[in-house]
């Protein structure tokens, strides 16, 4: 729990402190341990996020293999992504609502079991419906993992909420970046069945998540006391709703654009620059590595200068680079996508913590809503852009998507936080 406090804003201003917490006189003694950042727990969470997202990223990474083996068109590829993203997104808010009231310390390990089942099914799928089922199982595991692990990261933050979210999320981004690289050198040469080898990653994650669950169970009393105290600080409902809508627009912009890269960048490079599948996936790895680096920076910077400024600079600031990308040669395409990954990815940690502070005491619901909405927008983007690519071509799609970061102008309507030392 942070050592600063939030002042009660007037309905007219809508401004709120960038790191709101309970006043010192209301702090229960049971919550004192929360003042210390639990870096071992954050490290284990980050590793588990790495393993979880590594498994998830295998699916889009082997799209070229599945496209050839199952004779899929871009629309069907988009449908696989949509199935995964919808199961991952639609369930997340419900998980958050339930666990806010009824904590389930071992739900993380159970959710990873669904991911393990989906992974094994993917390795043996022989029909398109089975591919969809495996994507749904992996998505279901993710729907439990993200809101609950985000809650644990906040519990372990010791008040450094942005830093904790960045450490947690960077593991996922490293996993997402590693998936295509491992797919290029393991799955692509050996075929679909080699996906089963990654069951080892799921088993390691289940073991670590069981250990985290034991720590989580001990922290529940202090977490409940801190949440009850935080809920005493309220913002006007109109301000909260309007701000959440603005954040939703920004997430739409960010994740529709990211869907164009994560799902179709390899096809774009193969078509425009005649790269092979493995070479294209190496470029995708470079982009996803930049996303990981940007995520690590965004949270701590938001803790220091204010989250609104990180959100504003991240989404709108990437616009010049996205506009240049469709006109660049291969070298500058690589450079621009690395810059885009670094800048655009810094926003999400700031958005999550900003929203959690906007609605104090509802950590799981907010994490579920925002991770779920982000996944949903990514899935919808993949489906819409896939259908669009079938009709107008993948290069034309990138020309349209280049304008999406212009929606970052909506960050102007976010309340101005007052940063306190």
> For residues 281 and 61, is the Cβ–Cβ distance under 8 A?
yes
How far is CA 376 from each of CA 13, 86, 212, 252, 401, rounded to the nearest angstrom? 32, 5, 27, 9, 17
Domain residue spans of the chain: 24-413
Which residue, 247, 246, 234, 230, is CA-closest to 11?
Answer: 234
Examine the pLDDT at 192 and tell me if it is beyond 90: no
The chain-wide mean pLDDT, for the chain, equals: 81
Q: What is the pLDDT of residues 118-140, one digit of tens each?
A: 999 998 888 899 999 999 999 88
> For residues 3 and 34, is the Cβ–Cβ distance under 8 A?
no
Q: What is the pLDDT of residues 206-254, one digit of tens each?
A: 999 999 999 988 887 766 655 554 554 566 788 888 888 999 899 999 8
Whole-prediction pTM value?
A: 0.70
> What are the tokens at 94?
């419900």
Q: What is the pLDDT of residues 298-330, one digit of tens each?
A: 788 887 887 888 888 889 899 999 999 999 999
- Ordered DSSP codes for 330-393: HHHHHHHHHHHHHHHTTHHHHHHHHHHHHSTT-HHHHHHHHHHHHHHHHHHHHHHHHHHHHHH-
Query: 10 Å Cβ neighbour count for 29?
Result: 8
Q: How many residues does the chain have?
A: 421
- Determine the CATH number of domain 24-413: 1.20.1250.20
> What are the tokens at 215?
């720590």
């Amino acid at each position: 729990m942070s050592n600063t406090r939030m002042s009660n804003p007037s309905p007219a201003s809508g401004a709120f402190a960038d790191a709101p917490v309970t006043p010192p006189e209301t702090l229960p003694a049971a919550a004192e341990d929360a003042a210390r950042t639990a870096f071992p727990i954050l490290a284990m969470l980050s590793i588990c996020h790495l393993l979880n997202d590594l498994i998830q990223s295998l699916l889009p990474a082997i799209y070229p293999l599945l496209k050839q083996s199952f004779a899929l068109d871009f629309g069907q590829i988009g449908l696989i992504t949509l199935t995964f993203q919808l199961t991952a997104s639609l369930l997340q808010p419900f998980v958050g609502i339930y666990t806010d009231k009824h904590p389930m310390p071992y739900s993380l390990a159970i959710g990873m079991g669904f991911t393990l089942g989906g992974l094994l099914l993917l390795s043996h799928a022989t029909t398109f419906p089975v591919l969809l089922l495996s994507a749904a199982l992996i998505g279901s595991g993710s729907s439990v993992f993200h809101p609950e692990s985000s809650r644990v990261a906040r519990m372990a933050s010791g008040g450094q909420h942005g830093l904790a979210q960045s450490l947690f999320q960077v593991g996922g981004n490293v996993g997402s970046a590693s998936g295509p690289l491992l797919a290029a050198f393991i799955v692509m040469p050996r075929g679909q069945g080699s996906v089963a080898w990654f069951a080892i990653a799921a088993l390691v994650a289940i073991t670590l998540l069981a250990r985290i669950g034991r720590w989580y169970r001990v922290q529940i009393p202090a977490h409940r006391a801190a949440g009850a105290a935080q809920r005493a600080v309220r913002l006007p409902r109109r301000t909260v709703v309007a701000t959440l809508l603005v954040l939703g627009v920004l997430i739409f912009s960010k994740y529709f654009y990211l869907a164009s890269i994560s799902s179709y960048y390899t096809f774009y490079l193969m078509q425009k620059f005649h790269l092979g599948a493995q070479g294209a996936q190496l470029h995708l790895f470079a982009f996803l590595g930049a996303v990981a680096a940007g995520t690590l920076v965004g949270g701590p910077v938001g803790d220091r200068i204010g989250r609104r400024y990180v959100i504003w600079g991240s989404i709108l600031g990437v616009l010049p680079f996205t506009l240049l990308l469709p006109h660049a040669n291969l070298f500058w395409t690589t450079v621009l996508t690395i810059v885009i990954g670094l800048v655009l990815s810094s926003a999400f940690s700031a958005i999550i913590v900003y929203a959690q502070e906007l609605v104090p005491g509802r950590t799981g619901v907010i994490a579920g809503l925002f991770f779920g909405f982000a996944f949903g927008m990514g899935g919808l983007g993949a489906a819409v852009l896939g259908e669009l690519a079938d009709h107008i071509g993948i290069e034309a799609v990138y020309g349209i998507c280049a304008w999406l970061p212009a929606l970052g102008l909506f960050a102007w309507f976010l309340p101005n936080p007052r940063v306190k030392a």
